[in-house]
Structure 1
Amino acid sequence: MKILVAAGVLALGVGSAMTQDGIEERSLRFAMSVGVNSPWTQAAQRFADNVEEASGGKIEITVYPDGQLSNGNQVAEFELLQNGTVDFTFHSSIILSIVDPRFSLFSMPWIAPSGEELFALIDGPGQEVWDGLSEKGVKPLGGFSTSGFRQLTNNERPVTKPEDLDGLTLRVPGLKLYQDVFKAMGVNPVPTSFGELYGALQQGVVDGQENPISLIYVSNFHEVQDYMTIWNYSADAIGILTNQALWDDLSPQEQEIFTIAAKDAASWHRAEQSAADTKLLEEIGTSLEVVTLTPEQIAAFREKMAPIYAEWEPVIGADLLKSAMGN
């Protein structure tokens, strides 16, 4: 199955009578907001290929990258999934937090500052948040990964302790959680649009920014920054989702095919994302100074976050937050 890279007219999924093996002929659509070369989209294509193979070619899934079906609007993409206009998406908890604030759990500052801890959260207590999507007409297929930890770059000084952030002007996502986190550390957060960020860094309009390693690299931010701090302060969870009505219409055999394919695709993505981050960080390190914080250094930043956790506890849920923190 090839990824469809040219925009086209949306066609409704079609099916025929159920065959004896419990698999119906279906033509379905997988909407992706990122480009064809992204590990996200490659994982979506792996899912589609696995489904086609396991169904004996009866279920065909076309992947539409680059936001073709949503004009690049990720919230609109989720709404298309809800109403059944598209059949699958691979969505980030950061975007889903706009739909359900409890998804902010995965991005809480230093809640899970290592890959092992992050996946323990995603595969454990975090499942409660994903399960809540059923109330919004969406079914998670059990395939979960992450787009990586968000790291810091700036042009002023190496950041190794909270005091190093005081007075810096940083481009920070407009979500309230991220704004609050950086304000608590004395940062002046500026809502620069992503498309203008490279120029703002180059011209000194802002001192720095934060993003996952892969996005820093492909955006060439390391070319116009002097220092990078690896501190794993926040991340997201990403999950392969389908429309609840479609899921309910599937036979047990089809549901099993989708579930196995989603878990395989997410497992592949976890390994691919980790390998890509390691490789890209080595390349970034040839352009700027990279500092990797120790657990003791991270603890000093984490101590500053008590007011953030107090504010978000009633939003996420006290029991869920405590469980996520191992309490």
Structure 2
Amino acid sequence: MTSLKSLLTGLALAALTLPALLPGAAAAADYKAEYKLSTVLGKPFPWGVGGDRWAELIKEKTNGRIVVKMYPGTSLVNGDQTKEFTALRQGTIDLAVGSTINWSPQVKELNLFSLPFLMPDHKAIDALTQGAVGKQLFDLLATKDVVPVAWGENGFREISNSKRSIKAPEDLKGLKIRVVGSPLYLDTFTALGANPTQMSWADAQPALSTGAVDGQENPLTIFTAAKLPTLGQKHLTLWGYVADPLIFVVNKEVWASWSKEDQEAVRAAGLQAAAEEIALSRKGIAAGDDSLLKEIAAQGVDVVQLTPDQQKAFQKATQAVYDKWAKQIGPDLVKAAETAIAARK
């Protein structure tokens, strides 16, 4: 009888201590079988590689307690990039690697990165995303039903078209340029004399193919991976007018449903995936490596690199747009960004 009593006591103690022996096991019982991660682009684009890598690392670092499936092409919102952030807040999407441009209609401060000619180089992007400005924007996002965990990068957006070389603002006059669904982009290209046309990336590629639009602006990794030279994009100008950081985020309720241990694992996975994704997005176009530019030129593309004076002409032509939007974004935030960039090493 005593031995039976001891056995029962031992089993009860084992049941009580099992969760402690298996961290996260009790909490994981309430987890979803699968979490949905949204991206605009899939692999082989760096954006899609980053999202896929985050999902992979989350599974690894949580010992399989959290399983994430990536849905590229913003398929969870029928391809409408500008609705992604709203769907994320509402819980239709659990996680996302999103664009500051696409989320700017809902979070006006994210328009900061789309101010024309604010960021002259990669060090300027880093000065913002990895400094006080980046933290301020993360604190803001944290009030909007999401938990931001890391900054990624889509890259500087360079302009291409099928008609002619672009070396001065007047070269853009009358060109139909596909732009994302942001009023700031409409203002910028209108100021340059172009005819900006808003459409999703899914619609942009056939429009370029048929000549419904003449040109587009995107990072060089997209220019190559999407094979834009085969869609008539034979004139490319490197003008670095805006850059598009990406943000790795989790829906707030989903985040709260995870154990502290798993939250930290997801954050660590995001930071690692983001660092790898940034390195991939800059490969061939930074740190003295111009291999991607050579690859593009080898496809018969006329590549124009603006001189500082040529770039100043574009900057002057868009200054009124910069000033108008700086007021809407928030003068203090813009000033903080300008100061951080000026102080970069």
What's the TM-score bracket when you normalise by the shorter of the two chains?
A: 0.7 to 0.9
Distance 2:65 2:176 in 1: 54
Matched, 1:31 2:37: yes
Distance 1:260 1:194 in 2: 30
Unaligned 5+ residue runs, structure 1? 1-16
Give the superposition deviation at 1:234.
Answer: 1.3
Matched, 1:212 2:219: yes
Distance 1:89 1:199 in 2: 26
**Greater mean deviation of Cα atoms: 267-276 or 58-67:** 58-67
Matched, 1:282 2:290: no
> Aligned partner of 1:264: which letter?
Q
Does the 8 A contact of 1:230 with 1:290 survive in 2? yes
Larger radius of gyration: 2
Matched, 1:240 2:248: yes
Q: 1:268–1:60: structure 2 CA closer, same or farther, 3 Å change rule?
A: same
Query: What do residues 215-247 of structure 1 show as CA deviations (whole Å, max 9, x unaligned)?
Result: 323443323133210111112111111111232
Does the 8 A contact of 1:31 with 1:68 survive in 2? no
Aligned to 2:126: 119
Query: What do residues 86-132 of structure 1 show as CA deviations (whole Å, max 9, x unaligned)?
Result: 32111111111011111111111111121121122222213322321
Does the 8 A contact of 2:151 with 2:248 survive in 1? yes
Aligned to 1:317: 330
> Aligned partner of 2:335: which letter?
K
**Greater mean deviation of Cα atoms: 277-286 or 105-114:** 277-286
Does the 8 A contact of 1:87 with 1:243 survive in 2? yes
**Greater mean deviation of Cα atoms: 123-132 or 198-207:** 198-207
Matched, 1:102 2:114: no
State the secondary structure of the residue aligned to 2:55.
Answer: helix
State the secondary structure of the residue aligned to 1:42.
Answer: helix
**Greater mean deviation of Cα atoms: 271-280 or 286-295:** 271-280
Does the 8 A contact of 1:126 with 1:324 survive in 2? no
Aligned to 2:54: 47
Give the superposition deviation at 1:295.
Answer: 3.4
Distance 1:176 1:243 in 2: 26
Q: Give the percent of matched residue pairs that are identical in Structure 1 and Structure 2.
A: 34
Does the 8 A contact of 1:29 with 1:64 survive in 2? no
Give the superposition deviation at 1:191.
Answer: 4.1
State the secondary structure of the residue aligned to 2:272.
Answer: helix
Distance 1:140 1:70 in 2: 20
Distance 1:193 1:50 in 2: 29
TM-score of the superposition, structure 1-length normalised? 0.83
Aligned to 1:300: 313
Aligned to 2:263: 255
- Cα RMSD for the two superposed structures: 2.7
Unaligned 5+ residue runs, structure 2? 1-16
State the secondary structure of the residue aligned to 1:228.
Answer: strand
> Aligned partner of 1:212: which letter?
P
> Aligned partner of 2:265: which letter?
I
Aligned pair partner of 2:142 in 134, 141, 155: 134
Does the 8 A contact of 1:47 with 1:262 survive in 2? yes
Distance 1:88 1:40 in 2: 14
State the secondary structure of the residue aligned to 1:135.
Answer: coil
Q: 1:19–1:67: structure 2 CA closer, same or farther, 3 Å change rule?
A: farther
Distance 2:82 2:180 in 1: 15
> Aligned partner of 1:114: which letter?
D
Query: What do residues 62-94 of structure 1 show as CA deviations (whole Å, max 9, x unaligned)?
Result: 333344433333344433322334321111111
Aligned to 2:7: none
Does the 8 A contact of 2:159 with 2:239 survive in 1? yes
Distance 2:78 2:158 in 1: 28
Aligned to 2:14: none
Aligned to 1:272: 280
Aligned to 2:19: 19
**Greater mean deviation of Cα atoms: 104-113 or 164-173:** 164-173
Q: 1:244–1:283: structure 2 CA closer, same or farther, 3 Å change rule?
A: same
